Structure 1
């Protein structure tokens, strides 16, 4: 098979997967597009299912959803495959997940957002508006989160 046909076939497979994700998780009102939003949408749906979060409209400014428990905590959800995440504002609560290529999620940080925001709030804003925070630093902070302060 010529390379361009092979690439076209792979792209069709990706679109089939995206369409399946949208059918399977349409109750969460998320679009799964083949761009930078795909991983974020996957992570938000995972968090909604796993942690009991009702998702806000896509691209909400500070929070991706609200917990469905009696505390109704606003949560920013970040998912990455890299070694850091970007934050542009202080969330009430922050849930950071890392996804690996076998499809498993690892919780990196789960707690009040002000703890993480303290790391960057006095720094000069980056050109893109996203402060980068390493997963290793988030793991260290996460070790000290009380169970009652977790989502």
Structure 2
């Protein structure tokens, strides 16, 4: 893994949050949320660092990475209260980074458990799953169901 300047990464992410806050103040009633590819890519590179994952090429259908033991891993990062799932994954890592705080692991376990707990399919092709529900599910997972955490969140 290359030597990444994680303090600079954290600063750049904070600057993105500051920019969205400023835009929301300039245009009351409009939300300027960080989402889509930007947040997804941040989640992928951070999870790769934390769990020593090998990332798939960007926009690979199905899974974002592969673990050392061969498990296919889907990675989600949110600043909100839920995540959207498009398919059942072999393994799921859900990270959260509320504004001004560090990234934390919400869920690190079998994708099937999360998929089965998610709501019904929405018009956008996603099934929503709340972070609180994921936290409760994560509390009941055994170590063998989780990927080992190699490094703490760098940002």
Q: Same fold (TM over 0.5)?
A: yes
Tell me the distance in 2 between the aligned counterparts of 1:43 and 1:144.
24
Structure 2: 5+ residue stretches without partners: 1-11, 14-33, 148-155
What SS does the aligned partner of 1:90 have? coil
Tell me the distance in 2 between the aligned counterparts of 1:35 and 1:147.
31
Tell me the distance in 2 between the aligned counterparts of 1:131 and 1:107.
20
Larger radius of gyration: 1
Cα shift readout 1:64-90 (whole Å, capped 9, x = no counterpart):
0001x2x21110000000000000100
Match of 2:99 in 1: 101
* 1:37-76 matches, cutoff 5 A: 37-67=37-67, 69=68, 71-76=69-74
Match of 1:132 in 2: 128
Tell me the distance in 1 between the aligned counterparts of 2:101 and 2:75.
17
Structure with higher RCO (Cα < 8 A, 6+ apart): 2
What SS does the aligned partner of 2:59 have? coil
4+ residue runs over 4 A deviation = none
Q: Cα distance, 1:39 vs. partner? A: 1.3
Cα shift readout 1:23-49 (whole Å, capped 9, x = no counterpart):
xxxxxxxxxxx8631111111100111
What SS does the aligned partner of 1:86 have? strand
**RMSD, aligned CA:** 1.8
Tell me the distance in 2 between the aligned counterparts of 1:66 and 1:150.
14
TM-score under structure 2 length normalisation: 0.69
* 1:1-151 matches, cutoff 5 A: 17=12, 36-67=36-67, 69=68, 71-120=69-118, 123=120, 125-151=121-147
Tell me the distance in 1 between the aligned counterparts of 2:126 and 2:46.
23
Tell me the distance in 1 between the aligned counterparts of 2:133 and 2:101.
23
Tell me the distance in 2 between the aligned counterparts of 1:103 and 1:58.
26
Tell me the distance in 1 between the aligned counterparts of 2:134 and 2:73.
16
